[in-house]
Amino acid sequence: MGRVFSQSERLTDAMRSVFVELLVHGPMSRAEVARRLALSPSALTKVTKPFIETGYLREQLTGEGPSTVGRPSQPLQVDASRMSFVGIKLTADELYAVRTDLAATIQEETQRTLIDHDIDNVLGQIAQTVADLTEEDRPLSAVGISLAGTATPSDPVVHTSPFLGWSQLPLARLVEEAVAVPTVLDNDVRALTAVQQWFGEGVGHSSFALITVGAGIGCGMVIGDRLVTGRSGATGLVGHLAIDDRGPMCEQGHRGCARAYASSPAIRRSVATALDRPELTFDDCLAMARDETRDGHPVARRVLDEAGTALGQIVATVANITGPELVILSGEAVHMYEVCADAFQTALARHTHWTSTPVPVVVKPFAFNEWARGAAVTALQHLLLHR
């Protein structure tokens, strides 16, 4: 009992892939799994047995499915409650955390304001958060931490974090020592991409790109069923893509830079400045652009059209270069999409290479705890794939 995922017992390739297949592609009969993974039926009996004995897999009550010929199948389902993960997203001044089960469903969440950026204090706050989220009788399987920057699970060191003021900090190891649970560190956008890959819109696609809009613009990619991790963790750096050379300017002094057009602070600033109304919020701007009575306020309308155009060009550029099956649009500010959909689609079509059809785009609503959930999924993936 309980020895299947213990560190002593090593999973075979077949066991791992069968379990992941069932976790990601929902309840499925042994026969179905065997077909999808090109395994023999007998292998499935053998491989699933220990999982069922230890409770990680359960045989579903035979569903009242559409009756077919032959013996009805016996769907297998992962018991998501058998494991818990904590995911933590670090920002400059906050710490967002969630506890999820094996299916990445959020069970509990917290938030904490960082006292300061002193490492020991942050470690203390992380340890406290993990302790608070851990249930009495159910030990954590792994902890995931995500932040902006170039960390990767294989090089779990914060090399330089401008906003936290750290450099060369082996954060994963320090947290692991503090909480005594295996800990994985990864870039925040890549963590979000992992969520989409296993539990979101990316399921069933061997390649897709995730574009996030919010305080900045991010991009994560899955190519050939694998999450892309570039040279020293640097991938998807679309935030400063040159849209034109006359537009608004970003903090780095780039004229017509993507984030100067399409990030939520830039949008807010453009409208507020043009109207000399510094109190306007981002959502105010969206409301003004949406305003039906006069076809939208002209300033907000223009700014959002330009934002949509920039986003469309970003998506087209990423799609032209990497050729994903799908692009997922998400992030704290995705709800701006409905206000600039026309401009977006026009720009997407315009910048898509003429020999291709525009890539399918899915808009994925964003909840504020998705970042932390991403960290949890990173931990989960790491545990299931690399242990």
Of positions 70, 224, 278, 365, contacts DNA by CB under 7 A: 70
Residue 26 makes contact with DNA by CB under 7 A: no
Q: Which is nearer to DNA, 76 or 164 (CB)?
A: 76
Cβ-based neighbours of 290, under 8 Å, separated by 6 or more: 296, 338, 339
**DSSP summary character for residue 152:** B
d(CA 189, CA 227): 11
Q: Which amino acid is at 107?
A: Q
Residue 300 makes contact with DNA by CB under 7 A: no
Out of DNA, a second copy, none, what residue 150 binds, judged by CB under 5 to 8 A for its kind, is a second copy
Shortest Å, Cβ 293 to DNA: 58
Residue 1 makes contact with DNA by CB under 7 A: no
Task: Give Cα separations from 374 to 13, 159, 348 (angstroms).
Answer: 25, 21, 27
Shortest Å, Cβ 16 to a second copy: 17
How open is the CA angle 349-353-355, to the nearest 5 degrees? Answer: 110
The answer to whether the beta carbons of residues 267 and 336 sit under 8 Å apart is: yes
Return the residues of window 247-306 that contact a second copy according to CB under 8 A. Answer: 252
Question: By CB under 8 A, which span of 16-24, 106-114, 187-195, 219-227 interacts with a second copy?
Answer: 219-227
Cβ-based neighbours of 166, under 8 Å, separated by 6 or more: 117, 119, 158, 160
Out of DNA, a second copy, none, what residue 234 binds, judged by CB under 5 to 8 A for its kind, is a second copy
**DSSP summary character for residue 335:** G
Of positions 54, 73, 107, 110, contacts DNA by CB under 7 A: 73
Shortest Å, Cβ 32 to DNA: 6
Residue 40 makes contact with a second copy by CB under 8 A: no
Q: Which is nearer to DNA, 39 or 194 (CB)?
A: 39
Out of DNA, a second copy, none, what residue 71 binds, judged by CB under 5 to 8 A for its kind, is DNA
For the CA atoms of 133, 136, 140, 146, the dihedral, rounded to the nearest 10 degrees, stands at 10
How open is the CA angle 109-170-378, to the nearest 5 degrees? Answer: 40
Residue with tokens 């395994």: 39
- Strand segments, DSSP code E, in 235-353 are 327-330
Q: Which is nearer to a second copy, 71 or 246 (CB)?
A: 246
Of positions 12, 81, 252, 281, contacts DNA by CB under 7 A: 12
Residue 21 makes contact with DNA by CB under 7 A: no
Residue 145 makes contact with a second copy by CB under 8 A: no
Q: Which is nearer to a second copy, 134 or 352 (CB)?
A: 352
Residue 329 makes contact with a second copy by CB under 8 A: no
Q: Which pair of structure tokens corresponds to residue 128?
A: 């406290």
d(CA 156, CA 4): 27
Q: How many CA atoms lie within 13 A of 147 on its CB side?
A: 26
The answer to whether the beta carbons of residues 271 and 285 sit under 8 Å apart is: yes
Of positions 2, 26, 41, 165, contacts DNA by CB under 7 A: 41
Out of a second copy, DNA, none, what residue 221 binds, judged by CB under 5 to 8 A for its kind, is a second copy
Q: What's the length of the chain?
A: 387
Element (H, E) at 183: strand 183-187
Of positions 7, 8, 67, 355, contacts DNA by CB under 7 A: 67
In the complex, the residues that contact a second copy under the rule CB under 8 A are 149-150, 207, 219, 221, 223-224, 226, 228-242, 244-245, 252, 313, 317-318, 320-325, 351, 353-356, 359
Query: What is the binding site for DNA (CB under 7 A)?
Result: 12-15, 29-32, 38-48, 62, 67-75
